[in-house]
Amino acid sequence: MNAAEISARIASYQSGMFPASVAPRALGEASQLHPVNLRLPEGDEWRAESVLTLAIERGFDYRAFYRRASSRDAEALNMLFAFACEGEAMDGHAWFLHELLDLVGDGFFADALAKENTERCASVGGLILFDMGFDHGYEAEVMAAFSRRYPRTYLATVAG
């Protein structure tokens, strides 16, 4: 199962659930973070190189958007949500979005994602679940871990 298939499955879950905006805000979240440079996944640099190469070919400054998004720039994060790719580039994009989720926090990430349409929410959720190992046959466990670790993002991706 690839990230696109996971995204399609999430899209099918989105009916009948309440919007992410009703989820409680996590206390103690800092309003600003210092920007960080994009780092490559250790041992899997090829995954990251594919998405970065594709971004360069399209004239999209992935590193700059990542740096801005890492300091809680919602516009930059939304630009990364909108970056469409497939194959090996999608693997790297999934890794970077998961890293950003950890960097900026569940609340900020979910708030930015809640402004997107349900299709994009499902796509981002599929990418994160893919990076968490959803494609390796542990769907229920990964979905449960996703909902516990990132409850607001879970609601934004699955509930739409």
61-72 average pLDDT score: 92
13-27 average pLDDT score: 44
3-24 average pLDDT score: 56
Q: Residue 12 has what pLDDT?
A: 63
Q: Residue 142 has what pLDDT?
A: 85
Confidence label for 62 from pLDDT (cuts 50, 70 and 90)? very high
Quick one: tokens of 150?
A: 């990132």
CA distance 123 to 83: 10
Quick one: tokens of 31?
A: 């309003």
Task: Please answer whether residues 79 and 65 qualify as being in contact, where contact means their C-beta atoms are separated by less than 8 angstroms.
Answer: yes
What is the reported pTM? Answer: 0.76
Q: Which of 1-15, 45-59, 66-80 is the most confident on average?
A: 66-80
Q: Residue 111 has what pLDDT?
A: 95
CA distance 18 to 121: 14
Apex CA 144: angle with CA 141 and CA 146, to 5°? 110
Q: Residue 40 has what pLDDT?
A: 55
Confidence label for 45 from pLDDT (cuts 50, 70 and 90)? low
78-102 average pLDDT score: 92
Half-sphere exposure of 8 (CA within 13 A, CB side): 5
Q: How far is CA 24 from CA 27, 72, 73, 101, 151, in A?
A: 9, 19, 21, 17, 10
Confidence label for 34 from pLDDT (cuts 50, 70 and 90)? low
